Amino acid sequence: MKKWLIPLIVIVLIGVAFYQWSVNINNTAVELEANAKTAWSNVESEYQRRNDLIGDLVKIVKGAADFERTTLREVIEARAKATATTIDVGDLTPENMAKFQQAQAGLSGALSRLLVSVERYPELKANENFLKFMDERTSTANSIRTARNRYNEAVNKYDIYTTQFPNKLVAGMFGFKEMARYKADPGSEKTPDIDLDFN
């Protein structure tokens, strides 16, 4: 056996082992990234469900002849903005995530103001469709919270895998980047002031 053949065999074996290791890291990263993207699609789906519900609410409230039109218009405009603000699943950057969250928070604020206004309309509060909306709203809010948490869990698994050494070296070569997490809305860390003075 020729002396130069042994080093060549060793180099080929090392090359094959590196190739298989790289392929394994790439395939696992692809799978984890796809899971995170699917989880994000589920977040958007839940927000779409909320937007559809708000469309039903707008129809219910429009039926109340003397209801404050300004408050209703704010909800309609915020809903349009929230629906128009979407993120391409391949571009889940912190900046895009912040824009999406800002649009959703704007809609949540407008919806809260609308629901406070409804308190002054007993016939509207007693409306069967409105009561159904309130039940669906609670269910949807829980579904949104669950979907956001699952998205963050999927992103966490992906980020840990692609940033651990030595995976980071291969993941970087294949273009895998850290994904943005869904963060709490600005101001949500503050406890709301509640007036308990019943006098």
**Alpha-carbon separation of residue 47 from 4, 54, 103, 107, 190 (angstroms):** 64, 11, 11, 11, 24
Residue 67 resides in a domain:
yes
* Alpha-carbon span 26 to 143, nearest angstrom: 32
Q: State the chain's maximal CA–CA distance in angstroms.
A: 101
Q: What is the pLDDT of residues 48-104, one digit of tens each?
A: 999 999 888 888 887 765 667 788 888 888 888 888 888 887 888 888 888 898 899
Q: Is residue 130 part of a domain?
A: yes
Q: What global pTM score does this model have?
A: 0.78
Residue 84: inside a domain, yes or no? yes
CATH code, 39: 1.20.1440.20
Say how far apart CA 183 and CA 102 lie, in whole Å.
11
Does 137 reside within a domain? Answer: yes
Residue 112 inside a domain? The answer is yes
Domain count for the chain: 1
Note whether 43 and 144 are within 8 A (CB).
Answer: yes
Residue 192 has pLDDT above 60, yes or no: no
Q: Which domain holds residue 102?
A: 34-147
pLDDT digits (tens, 9 = 90+) for 145-154: 999 999 999 9
Residue 2 covered by a domain: no
Look at the block and give the residue holding tokens 């708000």: 54
How many CB atoms neighbour CB 119 within 10 A?
9
